[in-house]
Homo-oligomer: A and B are copies of this chain.
Amino acid sequence: MYKTLSSFIEKLDSTVSNLYQKDFLLTWEKSYGELETILTLAEALKYLRDHNISARCFDSGLAISQFRDNSTRTRFSFASAANLLGLAVQDLDEGKSQIAHGETVRETSAMISFLSDIIGIRDDMFLGEGNAYMREVGAALDEAFADGVLPQRPGIINLQCDIDHPTQSMADLLHLKTQFGSLENLKGKKIAMTWAYSPSYGKPLSVPQGIIGLMTRFGMQVDLAYPEGYGLIPEVAEQAGKQADESGGNFRIVNSMEEAFQDADIVYPKSWAPFHVMKRRTEFLRKNDHDALKGLEKECLANNARFKGWECTEEKMKLTRQGKALYLHCLPADISGVSCREGEVAATVFERYRVPLYKQAGFKPYIIAAMMLANRFENPADVLHIMAEDKVKRRM
């Protein structure tokens, strides 16, 4: 057992990484080594837990969660991660409709942080708002720490914003690493991140953006597919292109699900609202224009309905490499005939991939715990070393 832990510790020791006291807001702000560090730490923490060894590195301390949108699985992942390391969760519940800014953010950020180690934020409802809010909180914490108001500067973890969903995409990446054996093995693999039909409206862009923003780092062939008009934030697509060039991979946008699925090793069919719709939505919300919002919703659902063909069917799965591409989803999926009449994926396809899908989700608590640990400890390898030496049982 110690042998495996040793290999994680060696891996951490040999990886250049600078995550200590840095917020985790966008994966593309992190170096390759830093992403590797998070994956290694997550694997090590999972290994410890699976072998009933305590991963508590905090005797006490708070992890604050602020969910400005509903969440079950991320909420439980965050709570699990905090608990695994010894932190207690305290919710900051302002009511999700409120977009607080300025003085309130500056003051509240300091007030909740006197004895806090981590602040996890989900704020994905409004384009241009979520990530900006996280940075505003971060700036307030920097200021409070510099002024001596806070004895330490809590780390921020992005639990989904308007731009990225790094705890999701990193959990997805760890799943791929596990399924394909190594990050190196992902080189040259084709992943199809494609829009899919859903009978709902206003789903955030952060998952597809997170996927193209992360998978292009590993030399993969990344196809982003959507019906005309369903584009993502242009800057994120640009970033993906640049990264693909640098990593020896490829990034292209196509307007056909079939084209993206062709010879794909991995498919990720998932609905989202078009960028320009989300922009208009945010404007109407700012103006509190409910009639315009209703109109927009109606218009959007009608437009969506033109693309019911964008479903991940058995036929389309046959187009993938040997008909056996790995199917991914961040869950919950809109399953045709199960959770809705017509949706993102055929029931038989979903059913065949249920087990790997759930395993994919099971990485998230460890990814979040890894982000927490890397933020609070300058040398995570030392922390693992102590845990491996002490071998405190998690369960008596």
Contact = CB atoms under 8 A, between A and B. Distances in A.
Given A148-B355, A151-B49, A59 B393 contact: yes
Interface residues of A, number: 65
A148 B72 contact: no
Q: How many copies does the complex hold?
A: 3
A394 B392 CA distance: 16
A326 interface: no
A187 interface: no
A333 to B, nearest CB: 9
A114 B361 CA distance: 9
B59 A83 contact: no
Contacts of A112: 72-73, 76
A58 B115 contact: no
B76 A90 contact: yes
A144 interface: yes
Contacts of A147: 354-355, 358
Interface in A235-266: none
A137 to B, nearest CB: 14
Contacts of A90: 76, 79, 89
Contacts of A293: none
A204 interface: no
Contacts of A139: none
Given A148-B355, A149-B355, A355-B147, A59 B59 contact: no
Given A365-B115, A396-B386, A144 B79 contact: no
Counting chain B CB atoms within 10 Å of each CB, which of A85, A107, A147, A377 scores highest? A107
Nearest to A350: B103
A183 interface: no
The 4 A-B pairs with the shortest beta carbon distances in the complex, nearest first, are A80-B115, A57-B396, A149-B358, A54-B59
